[in-house]
């Protein structure tokens, strides 16, 4: 299996055109640099450098790998940075839409806890009595009571809610 560290060592040797120079730049013993390149050559089944006592030049396979190695290393670094940022929790902005009653009574009481738990999230809460055009108005999340009217949307059932109709005795009579 290809080791990204070995690929990074190869890239430095290729860029600096020497094992000693790469070892110095990487802060590694020259023997470690040589072993990394040897492991990479073994994993690929190809020689990457022509070596002489005075010169280190790339083979055709080495040239092909060098041309792609920097991009691979950069992409791997970006991927690791992205995954590392996920460990810090959600961040960014989110637009939430709900009916007025549910928004005031339920979301309004839960929102402060959410914001305390996820301080890097900026929430815009839209409370309306009408059903908004979620796609057209760029709404990320909507809370709706009852059946889903637009089948192109994805719904997740959050729970059941009982409704009560209450009136005073004098109103009923």
pLDDT value at residue 34: 94
Count Cβ atoms below 10 Å from residue 167 Cβ, excluding itself: 8
Give 173's contacts (C-beta < 8 A, 6+ positions apart).
none
The Cα 148–Cα 141 span in angstroms is 14
65: left (phi over 0), alpha (psi -120 to 50) or beta: alpha
Could you tell me which of 52, 19, 57, 46 has the C-alpha nearest to residue 35? 19
CA distance readout (Å), 27 to 13, 33, 138, 165: 13, 10, 50, 76
pLDDT value at residue 108: 84
> What are residue 24's phi and psi, to 5 degrees?
-65, -45
pLDDT value at residue 132: 79
Helix, strand, coil percentages, rounded to 5, for the chain: 50, 15, 40
The vertex-26 CA angle with 43 and 12, nearest 5°, equals 55
Domain boundaries, the chain: 4-86, 92-159
pLDDT value at residue 103: 85
- Judge contact between 14 and 69, C-beta under 8 A: yes
The Cα 6–Cα 11 span in angstroms is 9
pLDDT value at residue 58: 95
pLDDT value at residue 75: 92
Sign of CA dihedral 101, 102, 103, 109: positive
Domain 92-159 has CATH 3.40.190.10: yes
Could you tell me which of 97, 154, 86 has the C-alpha nearest to residue 127? 97
Per-residue pLDDT of the chain (173 residues; tens, 9 = 90+): 778 899 999 999 999 999 999 999 999 999 999 999 999 999 999 999 999 888 899 999 999 999 899 899 999 988 988 887 777 778 889 999 888 888 888 888 888 999 998 888 999 988 987 877 788 888 898 888 777 777 777 888 887 777 788 899 998 88
- Residue range 4-86 forms a domain whose CATH class is mainly alpha
């Amino acid at each position: 299996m290809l080791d990204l560290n070995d690929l990074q060592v190869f890239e430095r040797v290729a860029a600096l055109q020497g094992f000693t120079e790469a070892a110095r730049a990487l802060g590694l013993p020259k023997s470690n640099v040589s072993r990394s390149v040897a492991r990479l050559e073994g994993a690929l089944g190809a020689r990457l450098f022509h070596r002489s006592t005075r010169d280190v030049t790339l083979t055709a396979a080495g040239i092909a790998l060098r041309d792609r190695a920097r991009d691979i290393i950069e992409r791997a670094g970006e991927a690791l940075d992205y995954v590392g940022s996920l460990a810090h929790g959600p961040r960014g902005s989110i637009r939430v839409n709900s009916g007025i009653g549910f928004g005031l009574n339920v979301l309004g009481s839960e929102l402060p806890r959410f914001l305390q738990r996820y301080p890097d999230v900026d929430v815009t809460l839209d409370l309306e009595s009408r059903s908004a055009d979620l796609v057209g108005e760029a709404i990320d999340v909507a809370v709706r009571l009852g059946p889903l009217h637009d089948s192109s949307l994805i719904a997740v059932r959050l729970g059941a809610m009982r409704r009560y109709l209450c009136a005073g005795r004098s109103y009923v009579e």
